[in-house]
Chain A
Amino acid sequence: MTLTDVAPPQPRTSVAPRRRARGPASRRQLTAWMFLAPSLIVLVAFTLYPMAQAVYLSLTDYNLIKAAQFIGLDNYVELVSDPAFWNAFWNTVLYAAVVTPVTVVLALLFAVMLNQAFFGRTFVRTAIFLPFIVSLGIIAIAWSFLLDPNIGLLSYWLGQIGIVTEQGWLTDPRFAMPAVMMVGVWKFVGFYMVIYLAGLQSIPADLYEAAKIDGTNPWQRFRNVTLPLLSNQTLLVSVLALIATLQAFDQIYVMTRGGPFFTTETLVMLIYREGFQELRFGYASAISFVLLIFVFILSMVQYGWQRRRAVTY
């Protein structure tokens, strides 16, 4: 699954000498490089180069048209004292802290429920997975309509049971963030559910049989068999979900544009605003780099913490 799962390189002596003798080392290396080349070219051209470029740009004052002016760490100094940055930072943390666990828990819940055989199971599975296939932009537009205070179906239904918001759900500072969070969960839960489903189906049935013979109840079986054996999936799902939520953008851009008064502005929204609206690409790059470091650190911590619980078969 990850690089660290690959066996460490064997010491030279253990490499079969006869095989090596077949051809010169350079040729064998060439073969290896040729296999690696496609991935490496993509990686360098579309990941490493842009990343290096972004780091360089973060040290400049750059607007796309005039040449970039090198200004050292000025962007980072400004960033530390920029209330807009800290607002976006804490919004991002809040978004990730709520959406990640809710998504993962719901995905697990759905997966366990939909792993049982019942009539219409395929339909329910599809219904939950469907939002993941649809573009987030389209989803966000659809939800904006549903939540519209004047023509929205959902607003109407809520109004029927006595829940009215005088202004729209998306422009009320109390509800805007929960609304974009809900759409984020709704969109991604199906994808993680499918990963969990795959995990569930790979748990051998004899474990459950053994547990039953031992006289366990369903909750104990879930707690002691299902959950531990799903920890690989949980690691994958929670790392993916965390990275995705820290980069929340589409639904926020379409539904609220970061408003009302920046209550839903996340770091990626801020990067977009500083870059493409304020035309400050250097500053936007600096924020991107800070976000990159933040995501990297959190992912590593999460990985290190959860890997100890990983199961190997």
Chain B
Amino acid sequence: MKTQHWFRSRRVRGIRVAVVGAGLLALALSGCAGQGSGGGEDGGSADGKVSLTFWNGFTGPDGPALQQVIDDFNASQDDVEVTAEIMPWDTLYQKVLTAVAGNDGPDIIAMSAGRMPQFAQQGMFEGVDDYYEDSANDSAALAPAAIEASVFDGVNYGVPVNFTPMMMYYNKDLFEAAGLDPEAPPTTWDEFAAMVPQLTVDDNGDGKPEQYATALGDHETVPVFMSLPWGTGGGVVSDDGKTSMLGEPASIEALDFWVDLVKNQKASPLGLSGADADKLFTTGKAATEIVGPWMTTGFDEAGLNYGIAAPPAGPDSDAILADVVSMGITSGADDATKQAAYQFFKYWNSKEGQITWSSGSGFPPNRADVADQVTSSPYPAVFGAADVVDRSKILLAGVAAGGTIGETIFWPTLQKALNGQGTVEELFSAASEKVQAELDK
């Protein structure tokens, strides 16, 4: 084959270009270096107020309620100005460390108390024990479980934003259609299991039900599945957070029961994320869902005829999964910032603050002494009822490896079990060793 010179080569000669490009680049580079002010540690502002940036993930209908409390606080005094930056939780977790390391982070960060130890261990938070020591802050009125949730290694790193048990929402219409009493939701695991054949409906017989008894997420979700071993006296880790319990017979028994229910009885679709589970219940394709009060508004807007009850109790324990969101102060805060943040914390957990928050968000108040004053919404009373709060338990409290245990051990192992890649016993026994290794790190 012949090759051709069909490209006409062109010799470019005698070009003298001013180095405009380099100049522009230098400008661009210096521009980069100049950024990074705002937010951060300085905190002060022109009018003498301490300004605090508050990162949190209340993107739902609870966001306006949070903003309302902050507005009230800002209006109530002249020393501190709090500005909320609301973003999805996963975005917050991803951004926060780089922001703090770059000195451009928030002053106050809210996060699940379950995630706090991991970040506290990295040195991201200031201890706030002196906040609780100051009796003027009236911390005695707060639910003890909410306070203890943010303790890690003997130091408390957070003040509760909210404390909420997960309750079972059930679709009364679907119960009625299945011939079940819409006023008698299941109270035990066995009662629930007995209802599954009626509530899971495969109309066209293609093996994929059109309606499921429940919507139980197996990734990126409220860790309801992780809390199920409590029901038989098992758990993911021991209460002191030092020993893995996943391999114990009680935990295996519970997981076996639920994996069988989901996988073989088709009580729930496989592979649901939290958002998928919510969607399934919202669209009336799942008869029950165990979730927090933040979904109430969405279910109302969907026009669902639903009831709220305590989740079915296990044979040995009726513990209810609860979650606490705490707010902490980023490390390196100066004294003025810290005191300003304490002022805000105090207001947040004051009677006034809690009534506003609870009424607007549907979360139960952090303090029992205002429960009867939250009357504009029925849900805080349901979620904050004394017998519910007493049964509440926090998952992996104070365990620094909590996030890792969930993301890289529990959920993947559960997915394997649900996909039939081994028995519950062998999979979770192996997972238990990994959990122990994380705890020992």
Binding site for B on A (CB under 8 A): 34-35, 37-38, 41-42, 45, 63-66, 84, 148-151, 159, 164-168, 170-173, 202, 204, 228, 257, 259-262, 273, 276-279, 311-313
Contact = CB atoms under 8 A, between A and B. Distances in A.
Given A166-B269, A273-B408, A277-B94, 18 more contacts: A37-B19, A38-B19, A63-B122, A63-B123, A64-B122, A159-B206, A166-B207, A166-B266, A171-B415, A173-B415, A173-B421, A204-B6, A277-B407, A278-B404, A278-B408, A279-B118, A279-B122, A313-B5
Nearest to B266: A166
Contacts of B220: 257
Interface in B1-58: 1, 3-7, 17, 19, 21-22, 25, 29
Contacts of A66: 122-123
B261 interface: no
B280 A150 contact: yes
B269 A34 contact: no
Interface stretch (B96-104, B189-197, B311-319, B367-375): B96-104
Contacts of A150: 269, 276, 279-280, 283, 285
A278 B400 CA distance: 11
Contacts of B276: 148, 150, 168
B297 interface: no
B378 interface: no
Interface string B185-220: 000000000000000000000111000000000111
Nearest to A260: B415
A260 B413 CA distance: 10
Given A65-B124, A171-B271, A279-B118, A38 B419 contact: no
Contacts of A260: 219, 271, 412, 415, 419
B270 interface: yes
A205 to B, nearest CB: 11
Interface string B312-339: 0000000000000000000100000000
- A-B interface, 7 closest residue pairs, ranked by CB to CB distance from nearest: A171-B271, A167-B270, A261-B412, A64-B101, A167-B271, A38-B21, A260-B415
A54 to B, nearest CB: 15
A3 B10 CA distance: 19
A259 B3 contact: no
Contact of B94 (A41, A64, A173, A276): A276
B63 interface: no
Contacts of B93: 277
A202 B5 CA distance: 12
B103 to A, nearest CB: 11
Contacts of B346: none
A259 B415 contact: yes
Interface residues of B, number: 50
B94 A204 contact: no
Nearest to B17: A35
A268 to B, nearest CB: 15
Interface of B: 1, 3-7, 17, 19, 21-22, 25, 29, 93-94, 97-98, 100-101, 118, 122-124, 206-208, 218-220, 266, 269-272, 276, 279-280, 283, 285, 331, 403-404, 407-408, 411-413, 415-416, 419, 421
Contacts of B7: 313
Per DSSP, are chain A's interface residues mostly helix, strand or loop, or mixed? loop
A277 B19 contact: no
A262 B407 CA distance: 11
B5 A259 contact: no
A166 B208 contact: yes
Contact of B101 (A41, A65, A84, A164): A65
B111 to A, nearest CB: 14
Contacts of B122: 63-66, 279
A64 B421 CA distance: 38
A311 B276 CA distance: 53
A149 B269 contact: yes
Contacts of A159: 206
Contacts of B206: 159, 164
B343 to A, nearest CB: 26
Contacts of A259: 219, 411-412, 415
B210 to A, nearest CB: 10
B407 A279 contact: no
A164 B207 contact: yes
Nearest to B414: A261
B275 to A, nearest CB: 11
A173 B419 CA distance: 8
Contacts of B283: 150
Nearest to B26: A41
26 contacts: A34-B19, A34-B22, A37-B19, A41-B25, A63-B97, A64-B98, A64-B101, A65-B97, A65-B101, A65-B122, A164-B207, A166-B270, A167-B270, A168-B276, A171-B271, A172-B270, A204-B6, A260-B271, A260-B412, A261-B413, A261-B415, A261-B416, A273-B408, A276-B97, A278-B404, A279-B122
A77 B270 CA distance: 37
Given A63-B122, A173-B421, A38 B25 contact: yes
A67 to B, nearest CB: 10
Contacts of B331: 65
Contacts of B219: 171, 257, 259-260
Given A38-B19, A149-B269, A312 B208 contact: no
